[in-house]
């Protein structure tokens, strides 16, 4: 299970890098388009269309890493009041709920992609983009998210049985101390980088 989680971390990180590169590329294209229109009176056709696709699939590509870093928002007002074993079970239940959501999203995204491929749909724009291309990236992101969420749920269930105290460290919402420590570490790292 540890090896699978390591692979999930690597894949999630790679997807996040791809998402970041896509946003950076989009920013460069928009910059070139703005300068081209302002100085030369010409425009790159389709930057707005490409921007829509990039923003649509970037979200799905980042879901897995956000899940592994415990970054999805959770309302945990009363969670700390419960006994440790109950908290552990509730944290695994939260993972299972996220996994169910991931499977649901992937199921519907796949249905949308299948219909698009069946129809041979293309955009009614100058680029005439085959819609299956951005949708395939979107489906890939949601499918990997669903897979990672199912994997973390299985890991949480194993921990719940073998080491319930570890569940909170892996799948509980970050504590205030953890979040403050994270921001202090970031601040110190940026201070050292600036010197």
pLDDT of residue 46: 84
pLDDT tens across 58-109, in order? 989 899 999 998 887 777 777 778 888 988 999 999 999 999 999 999 999 9
Task: Give 48-102 as a DSSP string.
Answer: HHHHHHHHHHHHHHHHHHHHHTT-S----TTGGGS-HHHHHHHHHHHHHHHHHHH
pLDDT of residue 181 exceeding 80, the answer is no
Query: What are the domain boundaries of the chain?
Result: 2-75+83-194
23 forms beta bridges with none
CA distance 8 to 152: 9
């Amino acid at each position: 299970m540890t090896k699978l989680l390591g692979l999930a971390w690597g894949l999630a990180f790679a997807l996040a890098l791809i998402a970041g590169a896509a946003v950076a590329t989009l920013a460069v294209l928009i910059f070139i388009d703005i300068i081209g229109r302002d100085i030369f009176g010409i425009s790159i056709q389709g930057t707005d269309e490409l921007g829509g696709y990039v923003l649509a699939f970037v979200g799905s590509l980042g879901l897995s890493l956000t899940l592994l870093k415990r970054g999805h928002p959770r309302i945990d007002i009363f969670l700390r009041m419960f006994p440790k074993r109950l908290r552990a079970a509730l944290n695994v239940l939260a993972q299972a709920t996220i996994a169910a959501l991931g499977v649901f999203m992937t199921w519907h995204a796949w249905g949308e992609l299948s219909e698009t491929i069946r129809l041979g749909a293309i955009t009614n724009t100058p680029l005439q983009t085959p819609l299956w291309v951005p949708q395939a990236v979107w489906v890939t992101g949601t499918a990997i998210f669903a897979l990672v969420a199912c994997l973390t749920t299985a890991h949480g269930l194993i921990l719940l049985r073998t080491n319930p105290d570890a569940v909170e460290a892996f799948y509980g919402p970050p504590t205030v101390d953890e979040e403050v420590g994270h921001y202090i570490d970031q601040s110190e790292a940026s201070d050292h980088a600036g010197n």
